[in-house]
Amino acid sequence: MKRFALISIPYLWLLALFLVPFLIVLKISLSDTALSIPPYTPTLDLSEGWAGVKEWWAGLDIENFTWLTEDDLYWKAYLSSLKIAIISTILTLMVGYPIAYGMSRAPDEWRPTLMMLIILPFWTSFLIRVYSWKAILSNEGLLNQLLMYLGIISEPLVILNTNLAVYIGIVYTYLPFMVLPIYSALERMDESLLEAAEDLGCSRFNAFWLVTFPLSKQGVVAGSFLVFIPAMGEFVIPALLGGSKTLMIGKVLWEEFFSNRDWPVASAVAVILLLLLIIPIVLFQRNEEKQREAEK
């Protein structure tokens, strides 16, 4: 009973904050748009008893999901979001891994300070941090002024309102989510394994690729998921740094909810997005479980 009570708490948490809201969104996605409050139909009226439930069930359909396949705006937004999320995750890994590696090799007395510097941006509002990049990347921003002062460029670079600005914003924002899991994996690594590899004739570079990187794979995968999942549905960074030309599913979702007030289509977009994110995670977990069983 104690074990059941212990594991029931996180499951109840997931049920209340994930499964129930998902079922509500799924129900709305199977509804039709209506000029009413709420802006969809049918609505479930339990006061009518079982007849009301049957009437509500009969009014549900999959027309909104069919509409997503007919309008190329949505699948283009999914593909664009997927591309931006994958590239952003790779760039974040390229920046974050050396930082995590350096932190794990730093003296013990310096590690808490380095950890604090990684976490420090979280003490500032996310919105303020993204807005600050507008001042840095604009045509009259700090970056262009510095480059022109140094004589590197003769005219301002157009960075703001491009995909490059979106990549910069995502890498900067989600860098701690990549660094911390990799640092945790590297910190637990037994350094005697590197010494053994070098004694057996490996160079430091080969020892890194044959020993260090494979042992940090779990941290790399965890960090990649922590970056890829929120980047896939990101709305604030593309809206502020990418401008109107950047097409991402998060912006489309916001416009359907608040501009068009088409809650059923927006809910269908959200359901597809959630499935796209959950399926690879489930497949990865199953693969990891098979590998652990094979090792035993």
> Residue 264 corresponds to which tokens in the numbers above?
């059923």
Paired residues of 32 in beta bridges: 41
Task: Domain 71-261: give its CATH superfamily.
Answer: MetI-like (1.10.3720.10)
Average confidence (pLDDT) over 33-46: 81
Average confidence (pLDDT) over 129-142: 88
Query: Where in the chain does DSSP place strands (E)?
Result: 32-33, 40-41
Task: Dihedral sign for Cα 266, 269, 273, 278, please.
Answer: positive
Residue 285 has pLDDT above 80, yes or no: no
Average confidence (pLDDT) over 112-127: 87
- Specify the higher pLDDT residue, 151 or 292: 151
Residue 20 has pLDDT above 70, yes or no: yes
pLDDT given at position 168: 94
DSSP string, 134-162: HHHHSTTSHHHHHHHHTTS-SS----TTS
Lowest mean pLDDT across 89-98, 165-174, 241-250, 287-296: 287-296
pLDDT given at position 294: 67
Q: What does pTM read for this prediction?
A: 0.86
pLDDT given at position 291: 67
pLDDT given at position 111: 87
pLDDT given at position 215: 86
C-alpha distances (whole Å) from 30 to each of 69, 183, 248, 265, 267 are: 15, 44, 23, 9, 9
- Provide the residue ranges of all domains of the chain, joining segments of one domain with +: 71-261
The tens digit of pLDDT for each residue in 219-232 reads 898 899 889 989 99
Residue 284 has pLDDT above 80, yes or no: no
Average pLDDT of the chain?
86
Residues 263, 39 contacting (CB under 8 angstroms): yes
At residue 6, the 3 state secondary structure works out as helix
Enumerate helices (H) and strands (E) in the chain, giving the number of each: 16, 2
